Amino acid sequence: MIAKQPKKEQGSAPLEKGNSMSEKAYKLLAEQEQISNKKAKELIDRGLVYVADRKVKIARAEMPEDTRFRIEMPEEIEILYQDEDIVAVNKPAHIDSYEIQSAIEGAELLHRLDRETSGVLLLGCNKAFIEQAVEAFRRRKVTKHYVAWVEGVLYEPLEIDLPIHTIKKGKAFSKVDKKLGKPAHTLVTPNEVQGKKSKVNITIDTGRTHQIRVHLAYAGYPIVGDEQYGSRTSAKRLLLHAASITLLGRTYTAPEPKDIQRYK
């Protein structure tokens, strides 16, 4: 009986699982926004939910019942160019490439961008053109230009020619691997410096999974907000933008969003 006496002092006791004063984040969000639990979990998983300036990363995390959430929805999808062969869109951050494919009837992705990456995304509209485009990608006849903010100060051009191996069990993860990796080439040139962060231009002619992210992290310049590959800087998203892509003699360009134009 004596061992139970401290339980009478409840004022400073920490919240425990099941305590009526805390609940899972997705359930609190669902109640606040009057949406389903499934929709609330999806919003958190997509990185769209914040408490103050901190992103909610775990949908099942226990949080105080009086937590107030903020949802930042992605910008509208902008069509940059369209004809009978191709649709070029400016993909906002936080939207999956396959969501865009589903939204454009009869179109098929010619490549993909990571969910948090913004910029030019191309879709083919007929079988003949898609076959041509796929062959161009296979033969490395496609040039992609990106812009990113990275950690560290970069003053000189940087060329990274190291093979990348991707592990696709669960969430995809890539790494430099000289034995198992496939060829990957990345050219990085400095644009501007702000404090200990650098804005860089990037050109690639290969398209390995997470290629730019892996190469920059390996070189000691992880992309701001890329926690998966070592960034220690908090950001609302991975600060990487697909600025342009040249395919079959035509170049498609997407303007830089505000978070890329200038850091902070």
pLDDT for residue 26: 87
pLDDT for residue 20: 54
Q: Could you tell me if 43 and 140 lie in one domain? A: no
Buried b / exposed e over 210-242, threshold 16 CB at 10 Å, is: bbbbbbbbbbebbbbbbebbebebebbbbbbbb
Mean pLDDT over 223-244 rounds to 94
Q: Could you tell me if 178 and 56 lie in one domain? A: no
User: Is 30 among the domain residues?
Assistant: yes
User: Is 14 among the domain residues?
Assistant: no
User: Is 118 among the domain residues?
Assistant: yes
What is the per-residue pLDDT across 142-198, written as a single tens digit (0 to 9) for each?
Answer: 999 999 999 999 999 999 999 999 998 878 899 999 999 999 999 999 999 999 999
Contact of 113 with 97, CB cutoff 8 Å: yes
User: Is 7 among the domain residues?
Assistant: no
pLDDT for residue 14: 42
Q: Could you tell me if 54 and 183 lie in one domain? A: no
In the chain, % of residues over pLDDT 90: 63
Q: How would you classify the pairing of strands 86-91 and 185-194?
A: unpaired
Q: Closest Cα partner for 56 from 93, 32, 25?
A: 25
What is the per-residue pLDDT across 99-129, written as a single tens digit (0 to 9) for each?
Answer: 899 889 899 999 999 999 999 999 999 999 9
Q: Which residue segment(s) compose the domain that 189 sits in?
A: 78-261
Residue 73, pLDDT above cutoff 90: no
Annotated active-site residue 114? The verdict is: yes
Q: Tell me, what CATH number does 50's domain have?
A: 3.10.290.10
Which one is catalytic: 45, 53, 83, 114? 114
CA count, 13 A, side-chain hemisphere, 192: 6
Helices assigned H by DSSP within 12-95: 25-33, 37-45
User: Is 5 among the domain residues?
Assistant: no
Q: Tell me, what CATH number does 141's domain have?
A: 3.30.2350.10
pLDDT for residue 259: 92
Domain count, the chain: 2
**pTM of the complete model:** 0.77
Q: Closest Cα partner for 250 from 83, 55, 17?
A: 83
